Amino acid sequence: MKYFLSISLLLLFAGTTCMATKEPSYKVKKADGDFEIRQYTSYCVAETFVSLADFDDASSEGFRRLFRYISGDNRSKADIEMTAPVTASRSEKIEMTAPVTSTKTVDGYLIAFVMPEQLSITTTPIPSDSSIHIREIPARRVAVVRFSGRWTATSMEEHGQELMEWLSKNGLKPAGTPVVARYDPPFMPWFLRRNEIQIEIEPSQEP
């Protein structure tokens, strides 16, 4: 069974130089070596669904859309500060067809930028691109395993399995899908990179 179902990343593209310097606020509720339970506050994201099956292609397309948005392609013509991480979640979009009883599914990825903490759902600039939507992520409790190394599917799977086993050992059950979080640009040496697998747990499951 695959636990590598969602991915978060920070990307640099040709002609674009950007590095996130901030991330959503949280408090560490429990620390156990490389594992943590964190309580995140609510925050807003700008997100876009990319109906491409290939992760790299979907990430690149979503990043470009969202980078244009924070670079002024919004109704306020405002530049928005970059934060970390950028998230790309495996998603299945349901598209309605005619008649109403007919539907089809399109696999793809939901790419999202975390908005700066001073922006709320009502103050975040409205995107000019109709494929981008603003959404509030509610406060939540998240289990995390932190590690360094190269960004390979095998590494992500192994650490995802470690986190699931740690949850089981501690009597905790996941309430969402695992997310891989990348906080560093590609030029960061692999042994210095900050990587994480994150998964939401029920608030009642307090350590």
pLDDT score for 63: 86
Q: Which residues, 6+ apart, have CB-to-CB distance to 26 below 8 Å?
A: 38, 39, 40, 41, 142
pLDDT surpassing 50 at residue 9: no
The per-residue pLDDT for range 13-26, each reduced to its tens digit, is: 333 334 445 888 99
The per-residue pLDDT for range 143-185, each reduced to its tens digit, is: 999 999 886 667 878 988 999 999 999 999 999 877 777 777 7
Whole-number Cα distances in Å, 40 to 24, 43, 141:
7, 9, 6
pLDDT score for 14: 31
Report the distance separating Cα 51 and Cα 132, nearest Å: 13
pLDDT score for 96: 42
Report the distance separating Cα 57 and Cα 38, nearest Å: 31
Report the distance separating Cα 47 and Cα 174, nearest Å: 23
pLDDT score for 16: 36
pLDDT surpassing 80 at residue 27: yes
Compare 93 and 197 and report the one with higher pLDDT: 197
**Residue ranges of domains in the chain:** 6-201
Percentage of the residues of the chain whose pLDDT score is greater than 70 = 76
What totals of helices (H) and strands (E) does the chain contain, helices first? 2, 10
Q: Which fold has domain 6-201?
A: Multidrug-efflux Transporter 1 Regulator Bmrr; Chain A (3.20.80)
pLDDT score for 106: 57
Tokens of 111: 């790419």
The per-residue pLDDT for range 29-71, each reduced to its tens digit, is: 999 999 999 999 999 989 999 888 776 788 789 889 999 999 9
Phi, psi of 122 (to 5 degrees): -95, -20
pLDDT score for 88: 67
Q: Which residues, 6+ apart, have CB-to-CB distance to 77 below 8 Å?
A: none
